[in-house]
């Protein structure tokens, strides 16, 4: 049924007389409950000269052909398609039909799709479940599910393309989708616009293994625009080539990629970037902040947790956790089990990241750093129990003429055939690695190894076995640092540690330690990632992300998508949770379930986290 609303807008001019000039804007609403009605509404909306809303009633709609909306230059108006809820409005393609395809070239023809589940769609091109292609308009997809869809080319679940507009996807779930090329779950592309992916989950999606098959969970590509990926989970995805969880790419100059507060677990890449793969082809900026990478791997390439390639620009890693990631020895260049990164020119900065239990098939168990002429800075990072078959159990560094500075980093129990803690290789005699206020302990077979013509110089650092080495410089000591609980990842300093007040604040120190406590607390900066006696006693600290969530409009009797909440311990002692529950007047309408938390009374170690999910089922 079609209804019209007449909206009057008055412009008042204060001259001698008041003038009222009406402007007419039309909008149309279609309420559909079967496939012929749905297609009829799409056809009318493509040429009626109005802003259109199509409300799709609850039910399962089995398609034998694609629902299509095509406007070639006469419909400069928006289109909204709204289901009752993603669990109750289901579009089913039967593995033979692409489900929904929308194409428009008008600048103001914004497209919005909400509360729909796309099941078993199949496309010989892009977007097995949903395919949207616009020129400069905006695309928004919200609170949708994409399950068991496939595409021969890109976007098994969904393909979203806007040349210069914005592509926004939030509160969606992608499960068991397949693509013959990129983006098995989601493929998003823009030339100069923006891509935003948030609060969504990508699980068990996969691309083919025929070459150029990237982004098992999601692929987000821009020429010179911006890509933002935040508060998502990527788990159990596979890619034939790069970026099993997430593939992000700036093809041209000046693009930005921001990846923050995401969780990557059990993703497997055929080549590079098990958890995530990021490439800046010419110039741009990459920022990774507060992400968790666990149990990701590559089969024939580098970057088990994540891989970042930047030809020119700036790359920063802050507050990320990399644990139990691997690169296989079966082939390729299996470097950087936690992270593999390369920067041609510009700056590479790593601050307060943790690398635990990562295992590389060749070089760089925790981290593999590679640069031509860039500037590398590390501060307050922790490398614990990482290993490499060849060199650099904690870190391997390979440069041409780049410079590197380490400030207050902690290395413990890292191992390799050579350079258990750090291995450095340089092609230039003028290129050196400077290590300030570090602790490098329990390395196998030794703390530091050097090759090529560059050299390492450590000052005011505690390095086991360093006495007598050429790199063991001013203020260095070789004494047990007296960590609080190194076996379980506790690298704070005990009272009486020889590292307390034994560093040097010149030429530079980070203003805070790993936990964000201020430096300096005593007479001089401490060695290592933690400052002793900074006014914060050992105690757990609970953090829940996101702190709130909007479940949207859910039909009574149906359920929302499960929303994931991450519970983190950002304190300096283990966090024992005695109970988790939902309270309030309508608490019975919310269902709390385990994610990665093993129970509703978990113990979360310092720096650790686990997840629960909440589903809204209104009655």
Q: What is the DSSP string of 92-114?
A: E-TTTS--EEEEE--TT--EEEE
Which tens digit of pLDDT belongs to each residue from 4-22?
Answer: 333 323 323 332 323 333 3
**Is 440's pLDDT higher than 90?**
yes
The C-alpha atoms of residue 386 and residue 268 are separated, in whole angstroms, by 19
**Is 425's pLDDT higher than 80?**
yes
* Residue 554 falls inside a structural domain: yes
Q: What is the pLDDT of residue 538?
A: 63
* Residue 333 falls inside a structural domain: no
Q: What is the pLDDT of residue 605?
A: 86
Closest among 51, 60, 87 to 552, alpha carbons compared: 87
Please give the average per-residue pLDDT across 47-55, as a whole number. Answer: 95
The C-alpha atoms of residue 95 and residue 87 are separated, in whole angstroms, by 19
Angle at 154 (CA atoms; ends 148, 155), nearest 5 degrees: 45
**Is 24's pLDDT higher than 70?**
no
Q: What is the 3-state secondary structure (H, E, C) of 3-52?
A: EEEEEEEEEEEECCCEEEEEEEEEEEEEEECCHHHHHHHHHHHCCCCCEE
Helix (H, G, I), strand (E, B) or coil at 487: helix
**Please, which residues bridge with residue 426 across strands?**
399, 452
Please give the average per-residue pLDDT across 421-434, as a whole number. Answer: 91
**Is 615's pLDDT higher than 50?**
yes
Q: Return the percentage of the chain with pLDDT > 90, whole number.
A: 77
Q: What is the pLDDT of residue 10?
A: 30
Q: What is the pLDDT of residue 39?
A: 98
Q: Of the ranges 46-60, 371-385, 550-564, which one carries the lowest mean pLDDT score?
A: 550-564
* Residue 178 falls inside a structural domain: no
The C-alpha atoms of residue 307 and residue 49 are separated, in whole angstroms, by 47
Q: What is the pLDDT of residue 88?
A: 96
Q: How many domains does the chain have?
A: 1
* Residue 551 falls inside a structural domain: yes
**Is 100's pLDDT higher than 80?**
yes
The C-alpha atoms of residue 54 and residue 111 are separated, in whole angstroms, by 11
**Is 521's pLDDT higher than 60?**
yes
The pLDDT-based confidence of 329 (bands split at 50, 70, 90) is confident
Q: What is the pLDDT of residue 18?
A: 31
Please give the average per-residue pLDDT across 361-384, as a whole number. Answer: 97
Other C-beta atoms closer than 10 Å to the C-beta of 441 total: 25
Calculate the dihedral angle through the C-alpha atoms of 145, 150, 151, 157, rounding to the nearest 10 degrees: 10
Q: What is the pLDDT of residue 4?
A: 33
Closest among 406, 424, 408 to 416, alpha carbons compared: 424
* Residue 114 falls inside a structural domain: no
Angle at 527 (CA atoms; ends 525, 532), nearest 5 degrees: 65
**Is 332's pLDDT higher than 90?**
no
Which tens digit of pLDDT belongs to each residue from 461-499?
Answer: 999 999 999 999 999 999 999 999 999 999 999 999 999
The C-alpha atoms of residue 457 and residue 436 are separated, in whole angstroms, by 9
- Contact predicate 435/408, CB 8 Å: no
Look-up: residue for tokens 């006014």? 535
The C-alpha atoms of residue 171 and residue 180 are separated, in whole angstroms, by 25
- Contact predicate 128/99, CB 8 Å: yes
* Residue 576 falls inside a structural domain: yes
Q: With 0-12 CB in 10 A as exposed, 13-18 as middle and 19+ as buried, what is 537?
A: exposed
**Is 123's pLDDT higher than 90?**
yes
Average pLDDT, the chain: 92
Please give the average per-residue pLDDT across 576-601, as a whole number. Answer: 85
* Residue 557 falls inside a structural domain: yes
User: 198 or 330, which is more confident?
Assistant: 198
Q: What is the pLDDT of residue 16?
A: 30
**Is 55's pLDDT higher than 80?**
yes
The C-alpha atoms of residue 596 and residue 590 are separated, in whole angstroms, by 19
Please give the average per-residue pLDDT across 545-563, as a whole number. Answer: 80
* Residue 572 falls inside a structural domain: yes
The pLDDT-based confidence of 585 (bands split at 50, 70, 90) is low
Which tens digit of pLDDT belongs to each residue from 337-370?
Answer: 999 999 999 999 999 999 999 999 999 999 999 9
- Contact predicate 308/275, CB 8 Å: no
- Contact predicate 111/132, CB 8 Å: yes
Q: What is the pLDDT of residue 587?
A: 81
Its domain, for residue 563, covers 542-616
Please give the average per-residue pLDDT across 243-270, as a whole number. Answer: 97
With b for 16 or more beta-carbon neighbours within 10 A and e for fewer, the 84-118 pattern comes to bbbbbbbbbbeeebbbbbbbbbbeebbbbbbbbbb
Helix (H, G, I), strand (E, B) or coil at 423: strand
Please give the average per-residue pLDDT across 506-524, as a whole number. Answer: 96
**Is 535's pLDDT higher than 70?**
no
Q: Which phi and psi (to 5°) does residue 44 adopt?
A: -65, -40
Q: What is the pLDDT of residue 537?
A: 54
Other C-beta atoms closer than 10 Å to the C-beta of 69 total: 23
User: 286 or 569, which is more confident?
Assistant: 286
- Contact predicate 411/383, CB 8 Å: yes
- Contact predicate 127/98, CB 8 Å: yes
The C-alpha atoms of residue 513 and residue 408 are separated, in whole angstroms, by 8
Per DSSP, the residues of 489-550 read TEEEEPTT-TTTT-S--SS---SB-TTS-BS-SSSSPPSSSS-TTSS--S---EEEESS---
Please give the average per-residue pLDDT across 130-139, as a whole number. Answer: 97
């Amino acid at each position: 049924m079609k209804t019209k609303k007449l909206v009057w807008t008055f412009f008042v001019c204060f001259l001698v007389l008041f003038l009222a000039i009406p402007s007419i804007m039309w909008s149309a609403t279609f309420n559909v409950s079967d496939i012929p009605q749905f297609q009829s509404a799409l056809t009318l909306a493509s040429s009626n000269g109005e802003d259109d809303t199509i409300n799709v009633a609850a039910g399962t709609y089995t398609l034998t052909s694609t629902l299509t909306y095509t406007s070639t230059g006469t419909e400069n108006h928006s289109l909204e398609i709204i289901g009752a809820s993603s669990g109750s409005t289901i579009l089913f393609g039967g593995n033979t039909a692409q489900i929904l395809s929308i194409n428009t070239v008008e600048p103001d023809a914004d497209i919005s799709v909400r509360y729909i589940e796309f099941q078993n769609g199949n496309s010989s091109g892009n977007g097995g479940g949903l395919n949207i292609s616009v020129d400069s308009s905006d695309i928004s997809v919200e609170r949708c599910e994409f399950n068991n869809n496939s595409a021969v080319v890109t976007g098994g679940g969904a393909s979203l393309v806007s040349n210069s507009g914005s592509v926004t996807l939030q509160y969606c779930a992608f499960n068991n989708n397949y693509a013959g090329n990129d983006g098995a779950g989601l493929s998003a592309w823009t030339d100069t616009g923006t891509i935003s992916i948030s609060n969504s989950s990508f699980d068990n999606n996969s691309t083919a293994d025929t070459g150029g098959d990237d982004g098992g969970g999601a692929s987000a590509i821009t020429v010179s625009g911006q890509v933002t990926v935040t508060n998502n989970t990527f788990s159990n995805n596979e890619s034939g080539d790069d970026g099993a969880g997430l593939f992000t790419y700036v093809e041209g100059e000046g693009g930005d990629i921001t990846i923050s507060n995401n969780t990557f677990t059990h993703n497997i890449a055929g080549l590079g970037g098990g958890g995530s793969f990021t490439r800046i082809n010419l110039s741009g900026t990459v920022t990774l902040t507060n992400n968790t990478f666990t149990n990701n791997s590559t089969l024939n390439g580098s970057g088990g947790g994540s891989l970042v390639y930047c030809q020119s620009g700036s790359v920063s890693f802050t507050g990320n956790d990399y644990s139990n990631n691997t690169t296989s020895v079966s082939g390729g260049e299996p470097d950087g089990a936690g992270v593999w990164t390369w920067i041609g020119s510009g700056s590479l900065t790593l601050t307060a990241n943790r690398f635990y239990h990562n295992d590389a098939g060749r070089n760089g168990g925790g981290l593999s750093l590679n640069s031509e002429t860039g500037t590398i800075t590390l501060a307050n990072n922790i490398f614990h129990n990482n290993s490499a078959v060849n060199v650099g159990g904690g870190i391997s560094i390979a440069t041409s003429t780049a410079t590197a500075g380490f400030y207050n980093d902690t290395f413990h129990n890292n191992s390799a055939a050579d350079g258990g803690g750090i291995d450095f290789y340089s092609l230039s005699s003028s290129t050196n690695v400077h290590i300030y206020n570090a602790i490098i302990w329990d390395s196998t077979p030794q703390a530091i190894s050097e090759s090529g013509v560059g050299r390492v110089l450590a000052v005011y650092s505690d390095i086991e076995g360093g006495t007598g080495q050429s790199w063991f410089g001013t203020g260095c000591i070789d004494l047990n640092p007296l960590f609080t609980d190194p076996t379980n990842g506790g690298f704070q300093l005990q009272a009486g540690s020889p590292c307390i007040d034994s560093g040097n604040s010149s030429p530079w120190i980070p203003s805070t330690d790993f936990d964000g406590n201020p430096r300096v607390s005593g007479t001089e900066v401490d060695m290592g990632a933690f400052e002793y006696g900074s006014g914060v006693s050992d105690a757990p600290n609970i953090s829940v992300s996101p702190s709130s969530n909007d479940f949207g409009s859910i039909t009574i009797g149906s359920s929302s998508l499960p929303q994931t909440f991450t519970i983190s311990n950002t304190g300096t002692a283990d966090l024992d949770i005695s109970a988790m529950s939902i309270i309030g007047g309508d608490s019975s309408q919310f269902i709390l379930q385990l994610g990665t938390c093993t129970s509703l009374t978990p113990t979360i170690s310092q720096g650790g986290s686990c997840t629960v999910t909440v589903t809204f089922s209104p009655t």
